[in-house]
Amino acid sequence: MSLVEQALPYVRAISPYLPGKPMTELAREMGIPVEKILKLASNENPLGMSPKAKKAVEAAIGGIERYPDQFDLIKAVAERTGLVPNQVVLGNGSNDVLDLIARVFLAPGRSAVFAQHAFAVYPLATLSTGAELISTPAKNYGHDLNAMRAAIRSDTRIVWIANPNNPTGNFLPYPEVRAFLETVPPAVVVVLDEAYNEYLPPAERVDTAAWIKDFPNLVVTRTFSKIYGLAGLRVGYALASAEIADLMNRVRQPFNVNNLAIAAAVAALDDHSFVAESYELNQRGMAQLLAGFKRLGLECIPSSGNFITFKLADAAVINQKLLKQGVIVRPIGGYGLPDWLRVTIGSEPENTRFLEALEKAL
């Protein structure tokens, strides 16, 4: 009997996560120098990291022999979100906190609800606990909250919602999310993943942290990987009732966020001009890419994030042709969208290069 057969059957049944192709990997495969490669595949910030965060990382290297202390970042996040520190749980990326929530509430014999074309980490976090995943059909490529409400069973413990969603970019207006929360049984946790929250126009943003007092079953997650430009440091957080946060902390590795990430995140949170600049760049890049897709006659899904998903006659062939030109975007066949590619909005010259490469590929 092989060791593989000894593994938990629900672990063996998981399809692995397919990350965006690393630049170094394409460089090896195609013999292209890595500095000539354009990666628009993982929704990373084209401006890099905030200069303040960079300084903080450099200063924090001095204390790297010490185990990390999360106090400063928890305090900063609590102050920013209007909650108290024991409602903040830090993660090694927000991916980590999604996993913690799953481990607190899911197990074999329980279920979680998620939407077709929603973020791939929800199936992973769910299935790795042995719980059942209930998938509801998408509405215009986004979450159908009525279908999700109807799919909740007596054994359901978590509903996963990404707003905006990745990879489709769909945005659910917040009054609809609030109306949904009103109808969900109080024993079901609703995870509202707001990884792209800072890319929303101010008029569409809502202080969802303030909803936790009305809905103790609400957990809001956010990340420093996207607009804050710290994807490689791995830091994100969850906002929850003190009771849920306490449970999450019991299954959390005590030192899950490293010293450099903590220092960078504290500084990044305060660098308002970097965040504003990143937002503005994204708005301009969105207009540039939408105009480009229109010119090329390509359909795309309206996006509220820092990426756009667009449709092709043969996405796999076009993807290969882009790779040959050193341009990495994201195939999303694994999300049930085999005819589509997702491109991250880059700087103006990056978007221009992408559109030129795409036109050539077509």
Ligand X SMILES: *Cc1c(COP(=O)(O)O)cnc(C)c1O
Q: List residues near ligand X by CB under 6 A.
A: 43, 93-95, 119, 162, 166, 193, 195, 223, 225-226, 231, 236
DSSP string, 257-298: S-HHHHHHHHHHHH-HHHHHHHHHHHHHHHHHHHHHHHHTT-
Cα–Cα distances (Å) from 256 to 15, 95, 96, 355, in that order, read 25, 12, 9, 39
Task: Say how far apart CA 34 and CA 26 lie, in whole Å.
Answer: 8
Q: Could you tell me the smallest distance in angstroms from the CB atom of residue 330 to ligand X?
A: 11
344 forms bridges with which residues in the sheet?
307
Provide the token pair at 56: 């903080």
Strand ranges inside the chain, DSSP E:
38-39, 88-91, 111-115, 132-136, 156-162, 189-193, 218-223, 236-239, 300-301, 307-311, 327-328, 330-331, 340-344
Q: Could you tell me the smallest distance in angstroms from the CB atom of residue 93 to ligand X?
A: 3
| 300 versus 357: smaller Cβ distance to ligand X | 300
Q: Is there a cis peptide before residue 68, judged by omega within 30 degrees of 0?
A: no
Q: Could you tell me the smallest distance in angstroms from the CB atom of residue 233 to ligand X?
A: 9
User: Residue 238, class by beta-carbon neighbours within 10 Å (0-12 exposed, 13-18 middle, 19+ buried)?
Assistant: buried
| 124 versus 355: smaller Cβ distance to ligand X | 124
| 111 versus 304: smaller Cβ distance to ligand X | 304
Helix axes 315-324, 23-30, angle to 10 degrees: 80
| 231 versus 290: smaller Cβ distance to ligand X | 231
Q: Could you tell me the smallest distance in angstroms from the CB atom of residue 263 to ligand X?
A: 17
Q: Could you tell me the smallest distance in angstroms from the CB atom of residue 91 to ligand X?
A: 7
Task: Say how far apart CA 271 and CA 227 lie, in whole Å.
Answer: 11
| 195 versus 289: smaller Cβ distance to ligand X | 195
| 43 versus 87: smaller Cβ distance to ligand X | 43
| 226 versus 252: smaller Cβ distance to ligand X | 226
Instruction: Report whether 125 contacts 158 (CB < 8 A).
Output: no
Q: Could you tell me the smallest distance in angstroms from the CB atom of residue 157 to ligand X?
A: 20
End-to-end CA distance of the chain: 50
| 133 versus 231: smaller Cβ distance to ligand X | 231
Q: Could you tell me the smallest distance in angstroms from the CB atom of residue 206 to ligand X?
A: 17
Distance of CA 188 to the CA centre of its chain: 22
Q: Could you tell me the smallest distance in angstroms from the CB atom of residue 79 to ligand X?
A: 21
Q: Which residue lies nearest ligand X, judged by its C-beta? A: 93
